């Protein structure tokens, strides 16, 4: 995913913040980088030989009650797949509730020899995208103590 | 990434050797302004204009420090009426000297700048406390007058304003952070001001950001840019002559599907089929696939149109090349539309393009 590098990070990460109920702009990048993304337990995934990963997303993950009923009644397949590219798959594996955003940025930058800011911008935007789709949530502290939101 | 041998000046003693290794430092270059900062600092804001512009460079996300640099061309008139533009052209044509300017009042410039900061501090209900040192003359040639300053209010800042007689720029640069960052601010400021320059000595502007480093003849102006994660693109123009530098990240993934030459053919701005192709080795050991040859009449017309119908320096030849840098996992390409007589330009630019 190509994202403008001029993008202010706190804006990008800041969009996660309502989830944490912390007021911007007091929350600096520093705080956002300590969050720990964790995968939604309703999702399963399959790593492919090409390096890509297929996420199997229950159809009713995002939809409301009416939609869910309607889907059951119309016998819509109850799963859809989403393909993550190689870097996406790498980041996905790291969303285990243990790694912080900062650590994921560093690991991705190292693995793909990306410039720090390039990694920061694309990883945070990617995480934001996953979060908007309910594929991941953010833990504020360690995985054990945290409550999934 | 940890090797920097090719980039080091050959004739300096080993201990003093300046290294461009990104593991040790970040080199930033924009519109003739350049500086060296600690690793992982990155450009977070810039302006496209050369005459007056700004640059913001941020510390990595575990710090709130930032470096701000602003410059203006002291020779540029405040108001650009057609009269001013015309008068300048006529003076050039008649080889008359530019009218002598009154000496730049640095203190007044600094006061204006600090007023802006005071305004910002007021917004966050903090009072600004600013200090400045007496004006002094810097450098052996005495061609730079400067004033050091520091302030605290909504945050803390330490900086310097100067006027350079060589390029006639007034530049103000500062390191800004939170109150608790006092020591870090001082350390960064010292590093910044050891390396900060506002003009080039060798006729090549350094353009350096996000690990990309290239030297472009200083007559060329930045015409367009794309700075995206995974793709950097800088295009420069001198009359109708043109230099385009592209850099793609994640080369290991791209090269699973394409060869380097195929990738270039998909992205080059000319038809490569009519050009002479050859393989060469760069000074840093990478293999480069090169394309060169005469530009067709159509391509020349396109170049003139791109230069907004400037007939100055209409290019007649194309030089292009693409290479893979495994050390940085990047693909680089350089494309040049040049006049017949600008023969050396390819070597000059390529030798200043640092990929790892
Ligand atoms: Zn200068
Ligand atoms: Zn290289």
Ligand nearest, relative to CA of residue B167:
1
Count of A–B CB contacts within 8 Å? 76
A17 or B145, which is more confident: B145
Q: Is residue B16 part of a domain?
A: no
Q: How far apart are CA B292 and CA B319, in angstroms?
A: 4
Long-range Cβ contacts of B178-185 (<8 Å, 24+ apart): B178/B64, B179/B152, B179/B155, B181/B63, B181/B64, B181/B65, B181/B156, B182/B156, B184/B63, B184/B65, B185/B65, B185/B156, B185/B157, B185/B158
Asked whether the predicted pLDDT for residue A14 surpasses 80, the reply is: no
- Give yes or no: residues B73 and B109 share one domain: yes
Q: Residue B178 in contact with residue B156, Cβ under 8 Å?
A: yes
Of A5, A9, A87, the CB nearest to B227: A5
pLDDT band at B238 (very low <50, low <70, confident <90, very high): very high
**How many whole angstroms separate alpha carbon B185 and alpha carbon B183?**
5
Q: Quote the pLDDT of residue B14.
A: 34
Q: Which CATH number fits the domain that encloses residue B277?
A: 3.40.1000
* Domain assignment present for B204: no
Asked whether B227 and A6 are in contact (CB, 8 A), the reply is yes
**Interface contact A89, partner B, CB < 8 A:** no
Mutation target for A interface from B1, B38, B224, B229: give the one with most A CBs within 10 A: B229
CATH code where residue B44 lies = 3.40.1000.10
Strand order in the sheet with A79-84: A44-47, A53-58, A79-84
- Given an 8 Å threshold on Cβ–Cβ distance, is B44 in contact with A121? no
> Is residue B257 domain-resident?
yes
Q: Is A78 a residue whose pLDDT tops 80?
A: no
Which residue in A9, A28, A26 sits closest to A117, CA to CA? A9
**Same domain (yes/no): A20, A61:** no
- Mean pLDDT, chain B, as a whole number? 87
ipTM value of the model? 0.76
| B14 occurs within a structural domain | no
Hey, what are B174's tokens?
């500062």
| Same domain, residue pair B184 and B60 | yes
Residues A42 and A111 occupy one common structural domain = yes
Interface test mutation site (partner B, options A114, A122, A125, max chain B beta carbons within 10 A): A114
Q: Is the pLDDT of residue B20 over 70?
A: no
B34: containing domain: 4-9+21-195
Q: Picking from B100-104, B248-252, B265-269, B314-318, which range would have the lowest pLDDT averaged per residue?
A: B100-104
Q: Domain total for chain A? A: 2
Contact between chains at B45 and A4 (C-beta distance less than 8 A): no
Q: Which residues of A touch B327 (CB under 8 A)?
A: 113
* pLDDT number for residue A61: 62
Sort out which chain B residues have CB atoms less than 8 A from A11's CB and list them. Answer: none
Least confident of B87-91, B156-160, B195-199, B331-335: B87-91
Domain span at residue A3?
Answer: 1-27
Q: Give CA–CA dist B308/B305, Å, rounded.
A: 5
Band of pLDDT at residue A74, cut at 50, 70 and 90: low
The pLDDT of residue A107 is above 90: yes
Residue A11: per-residue pLDDT? 33
Task: Supply the pLDDT for residue B179.
Answer: 85
- Same domain as A72, residue A18: no
Burial of B164-198, coded b for 16+ CB within 10 Å and e otherwise, reads beebbbbbbbbbbbeeebeebbeebbebbbeebbb
Band of pLDDT at residue B339, cut at 50, 70 and 90: very high
Give the Cα separation of B340 and B295 in Å (integer).
10
> Separation of B107 CA from ligand 1 center, angstroms?
18
Give the ranges where chain B is alpha helix by DSSP (H). Answer: 82-93, 106-123, 182-195, 251-254, 260-267, 297-306, 345-351
> Within a domain: residue A38?
yes
pLDDT for position B279: 96
Whole-angstrom distance, CA of residue B333 vs CA of residue B325: 11
In whole angstroms, what is the distance from residue A148 CA to residue B100 CA? 69
Instruction: For residues B180 and B238, state if they share a domain.
Output: no
Residue B205 lies in a domain: no
On whether residue B247 sits in a domain, the answer given is: yes
Indicate if A127 and A54 belong to the same structural domain: yes
Q: How far is the CA of B27 from the centre of ligand 1 (A)?
A: 18
Count of CB atoms within 10 A of residue B76's CB?
13
Q: How far is the CA of B166 from the centre of ligand 1 (A)?
A: 5
Residues A18 and A60 in one domain: no
């Amino acid at each position: 995913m190509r994202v403008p590098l001029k993008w202010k990070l706190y804006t990008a990460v800041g969009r996660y913040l309502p989830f944490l109920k912390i007021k911007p702009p007091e929350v600096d990048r520093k705080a956002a980088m300590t969050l720990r993304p964790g995968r939604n337990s309703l999702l399963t995934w399959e790593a492919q030989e090409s390096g890509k990963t297929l996420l199997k997303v229950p159809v009713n993950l995002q939809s409301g009650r009416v939609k869910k009923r309607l889907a059951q009644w119309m016998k819509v397949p109850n799963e859809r797949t989403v393909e993550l590219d190689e870097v996406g798959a790498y980041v996905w594996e790291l969303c285990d509730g243990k790694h912080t955003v900062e650590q994921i940025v560093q690991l991705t930058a190292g693995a793909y020899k990306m410039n720090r800011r390039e990694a920061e911008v694309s990883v945070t935007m990617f995480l934001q995208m996953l979060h908007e789709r309910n594929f991941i949530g953010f833990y504020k502290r360690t995985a054990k103590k945290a409550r999934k939101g | 990434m940890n090797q920097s041998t090719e980039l080091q000046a050959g004739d300096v003693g080993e201990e003093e050797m300046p290294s461009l290794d990104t593991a040790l430092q970040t080199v930033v270059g924009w519109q003739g302004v350049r500086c060296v900062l600690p690793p992982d600092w990155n450009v977070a804001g810039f302006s496209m204009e050369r005459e007056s512009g700004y640059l913001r460079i941020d510390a990595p996300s575990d710090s709130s420090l930032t470096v701000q640099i602003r410059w203006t061309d002291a020779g540029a008139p405040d108001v650009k009426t057609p009269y001013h533009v015309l008068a300048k052209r006529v003076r050039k044509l008649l080889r008359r000297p530019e009218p002598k300017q009154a000496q730049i009042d640095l203190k007044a410039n600094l006061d204006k700048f600090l007023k802006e900061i005071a305004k910002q501090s007021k917004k966050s209900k903090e009072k600004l406390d600013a200090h400045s040192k007496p004006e002094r003359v810097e450098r052996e040639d005495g061609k730079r007058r400067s004033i050091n300053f520091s302030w605290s209010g909504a945050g803390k800042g330490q900086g310097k304003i100067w006027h350079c007689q060589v390029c006639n720029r007034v530049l103000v640069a500062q390191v800004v952070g939170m109150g608790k960052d006092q020591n870090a601010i001082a350390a960064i400021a010292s590093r910044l001001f050891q390396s900060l320059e506002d003009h080039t000595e060798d006729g090549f502007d350094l353009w350096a950001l996000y690990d990309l480093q290239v030297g472009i003849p200083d007559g060329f102006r930045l015409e367009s840019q794309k700075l995206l994660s995974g793709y950097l693109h800088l295009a420069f123009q001198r009359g109708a002559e043109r230099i385009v530098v592209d850099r793609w990240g994640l080369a290991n993934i791209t090269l699973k599907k394409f060869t380097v030459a195929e990738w270039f053919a998909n992205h080059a701005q000319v038809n490569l089929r009519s050009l002479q192709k050859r393989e060469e080795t760069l000074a840093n050991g990478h293999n480069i696939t090169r394309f060169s040859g005469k530009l067709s009449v159509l391509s020349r017309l396109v170049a003139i149109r791109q230069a907004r119908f400037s007939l100055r320096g209409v290019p007649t030849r194309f030089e292009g090349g693409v290479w893979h840098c495994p050390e940085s996992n990047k693909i680089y390409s350089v494309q040049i539309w040049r006049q017949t007589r600008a023969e050396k330009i390819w070597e000059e630019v390529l030798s200043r393009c640092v990929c790892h």
